[in-house]
Structure 1
Amino acid sequence: MKGELYKLNEDLIIFMHIPKTGGTTLNSIFRRQYEENQFYNHLLPDEMKSKYMELNELDKNNIKAVAGHYFYGIHAIFSRPFSYFTMLRDPVDRVVSLYYYYQSKPAVFPKFKDMTFEEFINKHSEAHNCQTKMIAGLSEPTIDLAKENLRTFSVIGLNERFDESLILMQKALGWNTLEYERLNITKKRPLKSKLSKEFISLIEDNNQLDIELYQYAQELFEQQLQNGLEKKDS
């Protein structure tokens, strides 16, 4: 990660939205920092690329911000200087939230309607080291590559420390306002403290890389806070 927080000027700012990390709320704040024609958001990478290639040069040059559920590497579409930021979450909490989110929307996600929690953890790819996959940019990730990429991010936020993360992003990215309301919250889900040890162990066994990456992200987060305090006091 870069040595101190700074305001980015010409870089294309890319928000890597990892599912169920508070990203919908964060994206609403991110979007408000730009004019409509400056913000580019397509859910599927192939759709993003095809739509981008259809734009004229003026519209391409107007784009300043990109957001979506993209793996690291999406910047290659744009052929411009870039900088990523993201929000991570405790891997056990993220998987639990994801499962109950899918369960709460059977019309949108019908294949999860009758899937048990154990089946979800064992079979669904998003329940297996999803954060590491996205940051490494690979469906079969390595932790070293994920850490290497993460160090290049302009800001790394933590869902569990959401407001502190927003302040860091405001300083680093020059945001004007941080007003928000929580969006896309998974309701009727058990707290981590209420889960059985067996289920927690099952999630942990399937997310060893994410656990290691999250611990590393916590270290980087503390460094960001320290750098921000030093800058404030100087």
Structure 2
Amino acid sequence: MNNRSLPIAKKRSIIQQALIIFTHIPKTAGTSLRHILMQQYGKDAVFMFYDDPTVTTKNADELLNELRSYFQYLPDVNDRNFNGLVKLRAISGHKPFGIHNLLPVDTFHYITLLREPIERVISFYYHVFGRTEHSLESLISWKQSIEFDNLQVRMLSGAGWKVPYGHCSCNMLEQAKHNLLHYYTFGIQERFAESLGTFSRHLGWSQIQMVAENVGINKPKTSNINQQTLHLIAEQNLLDIELYQFAKQLFEERQKILST
């Protein structure tokens, strides 16, 4: 849904009536945002799918059958009045941009949170691999997980896990920027409170209760990571770094407009 040319009030009205699709990028405070989705719309109106995307890639029928098993009143696949016939308000998962193409839905709007890429990779390592004998540097050198390789560009461009490790492109970066501008309300993990204000204004949320969920407790400060490891992470995530800088600048520009 591209409504950039519409008046702001009209655009927000359309967004608030649309199906909200949360692109949950791992280790970006997404679990906290997911709980806020349930606060705002009710648990019964938010569907969450968190199977392993590196193993399972669902087609349209499989996804709809999974939704139907949870929402018994889901209409048939060919019924295009999806939004008007079901109580589903939002879906959330570690799924890249483009999942709207698998759903019989006419109005949709994406949301997401981004995080400084080096911090995100370190947080992911300690969350998933921190209790192993293998160092972060060795796992990145071995290309152990595709989540070490420009994951935010992968998810916002729609490429996801289909592109092999080390093959993300500048075209994917530009597609991610385009999608962020045209389809997303987004926030920045490091500025979570301000980001919630952005979601509230655009999506009509109220009385948000902030809950810290899935917070890493054993992650060392970035300043304690050796420079060789930090350099390696940056090399593997140059596109994510550029996307984050683009998003952060856009976020700050919009915050300044609100404060004037």
TM (norm. structure 2) is 0.78
How far 1:169 moved relative to its partner?
0.6
Q: Structure 1 residues 17 and 117, CA, compared in 2 at 3 Å: closer, same or farther?
A: same
Cα RMSD (Å): 2.2
Deviations 1:153-197 (A, max 9, x none): 341110111100011111111112221221111112111122221
Tell me how far apart the structure 1 counterparts of residues 257 and 47 of structure 2 sit (CA, whole Å). 30
What is aligned with 2:149? 128
Please, which runs of 5 or more residues in structure 2 have no aligned partner? 52-56, 76-81
Q: Does 1:69 align with 2:94?
A: yes
Mapping 1:78-97, distance limit 5 Å:
78-80=103-105, 81-97=107-123
2:124 is aligned, of 98, 110, 118, to 98
Deviates more, 1:7-16 or 1:55-64: 55-64
Tell me how far apart the structure 2 counterparts of residues 61 and 160 of structure 1 sit (CA, whole Å). 35
The answer on whether the counterparts of 1:16 and 1:68 sit within 8 Å (CA) in structure 2 is yes
Deviates more, 1:82-91 or 1:43-52: 43-52
Deviates more, 1:209-218 or 1:176-185: 176-185
Please, which runs of 5 or more residues in structure 1 have no aligned partner? 107-112
2:101 alignment partner AA: A
Q: Residue 111 of structure 2: SS of its match in structure 1?
A: strand
TM (norm. structure 1) is 0.86
Q: Structure 1 residues 129 and 154, CA, compared in 2 at 3 Å: closer, same or farther?
A: closer
The answer on whether the counterparts of 2:38 and 2:45 sit within 8 Å (CA) in structure 1 is no
How far 1:229 moved relative to its partner?
3.8
How far 1:17 moved relative to its partner?
0.6
Count of matched residue pairs: 223
How far 1:53 moved relative to its partner?
4.9
Q: Residue 186 of structure 2: SS of its match in structure 1?
A: strand
Deviates more, 1:32-41 or 1:59-68: 59-68
Q: Does 1:35 align with 2:42?
A: yes
